[in-house]
Amino acid sequence: MTKPIIIVSITEKEHSKILEEAKMMKQANVAVVEWRVDFAEITGITKLAQIAGKLKEILQDTPLLFTYRSIKEGGQGQFSPENIYALLHYIISQKQIDMIDIEFNLPQKICNLLIDYAKQSQIITILSLHDFTKTPELKILEKQFEEMSKFNTTIIKIATMANSGEDVLNLMVATRKFTDQSSQKVITMAMGKLGAISRLAGSITNSSYTFASFHKASAPGQLSYQRTKEFLDLFSV
């Protein structure tokens, strides 16, 4: 069983602080850095691409994940699907990132176009689905995995809100069932305090990555980078 790789998110708003945090993450030997672009108080696709380029200069061989999280998926982003497509397509074209998040709830045509273009550019794709209010029942989770697996994405990500212990177990069971039958990598987590264990159980569920905070959490129940490292060392086989 493989220990999940920790992704740490940059959620700063200002240009200078975004770059400063990336430098600290590089010094801390973070495995993967996610830039949550929807938090940034920066306008213009070209400007965002320039910052992505500066981040990559700082991070060098550390993979950079580019994420624009919409309000519907629990983020800050207010772009229309068409504008999200324009942003992500341009960022892919600049080849300054290593991984990109594409929301499953975007129109299917947009998802397919972005996934195909990213793959042509040798960029890892994460097709993501978030529910910040609940965790669906087990059968629905299994159906979500099935539907998302029809896309040619590198990784499937499902994050749900845990309102009970059963929610946490259902997500972990659905994850393990899917990964036992598929070669596609997955990232899953039950959000909130109840779901914290799911962020650390990747070696059991076969969730390939987990998310942690550096200074500010980007999702409910997210643990700090240092604590996540310590717990993974303890729980992983």
- Whether 130 is a known active-site residue: answer yes
| Catalytic residue selected from 3, 89, 119, 157 | 157
Residue 145's SS3 state is helix
| Catalytic residue selected from 3, 13, 72, 130 | 130
Q: Please state, in angstroms and rounded to a whole number, the distance separating the CA atoms of residues 22 and 20.
A: 5
- Whether 157 is a known active-site residue: answer yes
Axis crossing angle, helix 108-120 with helix 81-94, rounded to the nearest 10: 0
Q: What letter represents residue 225's amino acid?
A: Y
Nearest by Cα to 199 from 185, 219, 177, 179: 219
Identify the helix (H) or strand (E) that includes residue 118. Answer: helix 108-120
* Segments of the chain assigned E as strands: 5-10, 32-36, 64-67, 99-103, 124-131, 155-161, 185-191, 209-213
Nearest by Cα to 68 from 58, 53, 25, 92: 92
Q: Which two tokens stand for residue 134?
A: 């609940």
Q: Which residues are part of the catalytic machinery?
A: 130, 157
